[in-house]
Structure 1
């Protein structure tokens, strides 16, 4: 196990792209049996469930992801905030019971149960200069059935990947010039809009918006929306 962990850490330390660092943590979790995984990249001084938080998710149903994109629904999720306040891992069930719940919280928990989100857990992720994050994992079975070594590996890789994301954010170039159109596209992407929806909003063809997106990714040295948005928030290229 120590040798295996060291190889993962060494690989993460060589990653030079934010999106790739996020993907690596997801891939390891998946290989260890995680069925669902989410990673919240939160701008400084924001809450982990704020509208400006970028949520990278795998394994969740399209219906659940559509719900979580709604600002009013996401704000009723107290679990990430409670996990971060606790400072250590909490199961979703423990987080639900960690404080007084509003009717909105209870409605959120009911929706979780209806979508089969029962056995997961949340982990606080700590980064440089107060750049903390949050990750959630679900093996789709009770944690008592998950080997401690597996659980420890998933948590350690999540933390290492987050720290690498923070390093890459801090080392991003400080001067990036975007055209007005590129800035507009980036702003819609920051709000969670897809390229097709952005095209409709801006009255442009999907191919035109894809071209703008490729230019934005190249200028920000990112491979996808998550990496681009994280860097853009860090550099103050968009306001949320």
Structure 2
């Protein structure tokens, strides 16, 4: 039974598998503590240069699960020819072992990076660390952001961004998030997806193809998107892009897990910035928030206060920046919580 063999291998002491980097039976470690069936299966895995196993028990288990799902889930007797020239792959006969080694190196690097995310003190440090890891997959830009409402700007919703500034300004100025098929698909799925797999509704999003084409002109030709959800529903999106991405299935899983850790670290840094001293709200900003709390729209607030809709929107934006909030409702709630306004 493959699962029984897998269970025995998973409980093999770490020192046995960590040194297993040879290409023949002579390089395999001692398996005296295993049953004969487990020894045969483990030696077979040893022949194909199993990568070093991390010292942390949880990461060791995850790494082995990924490894043996890809390599040893097929029974030994059925794996007579795992790939061409199995005894001479160091001389270029077979490429699968080297591919597996590269995948494991990326997974180990992702786990190591997750261990250090909480140590960064600034957004720039976090941004540089994430970009350094993602460049190995062809990623040149990434962003962690919430998605705005149809009448809102994208800028205040950015949590951490390394997006091209020219594209970000062009995207925000033209309100492209209303036509972006990637952003729209984030609300419809829990799973990571490639930009190319985002469905386009020509009727609802007539400018969708134009948005994707102009993104490619700014160096964002291919991308991967990870929607971030919690019990309350959709929270944010982690999106990474470049001219050409190289993401194996294991690499996608690593980026998926890293996105959640990065989102949490970016939120902690954002809250730390907001907890410091901030500018007080102006009397007019308090008036706008008070009438919004009473249930009026921005147009009604402008008419009540004798100002234009654009001016009312500007006051709301400034109040949102001071309070560190993401939308009008969040701003009103935060202003009430901090006793800036009263009902």
Q: TM-score, normalised by structure 1?
A: 0.58
What residue is the counterpart of 2:114 in the other structure? 9
Which residue in the other structure is 2:140 paired with?
Answer: 35
> How many residues were matched structurally?
188
Residue aligning to 2:162: 58
Deviation string, structure 1 residues 147-179 (Cα, Å, up to 9, x no partner): 333333333222211022334556777684524
Indicate how the Cα distance of structure 1 residues 48 and 100 shifts in structure 2: closer, same or farther if over 3 A, else same.
same
Aligned pairs (5 A) from 1:71-220? 71-97=174-200, 101-115=204-218, 117-126=220-229, 132-141=235-244, 145-168=246-269, 176-179=277-280
Q: 1:24 to 1:115 in 2, by over 3 A?
A: closer
Q: State the Cα RMSD in Å.
A: 4.1
Larger RCO: Structure 1 or Structure 2 (Cα < 8 Å, ≥ 6 residues apart)? 1
Work out which of the two has the higher radius of gyration on C-alpha atoms and give 1 or 2: 2
Which whole-Å CA distance do the structure 2 matches of 1:169 and 1:103 have between them? 35
- For the Cα contact (< 8 Å) 2:144–2:263, is it kept in 1? no
Question: What is the TM-score with the length of structure 2 in the denominator?
Answer: 0.43
Structure 1: give runs of 5+ residues left out of the alignment: 185-227
Task: Call closer, same or farther: CA 1:87–1:231 in 2, change over 3 Å.
Answer: farther
Residue range with higher mean Cα deviation, 85-94 or 50-59: 50-59
1:232 aligns with 2:324: yes
* Counterpart Cα distance in 2 of 1:148 and 1:80: 23
For the Cα contact (< 8 Å) 1:77–1:105, is it kept in 2?
A: yes
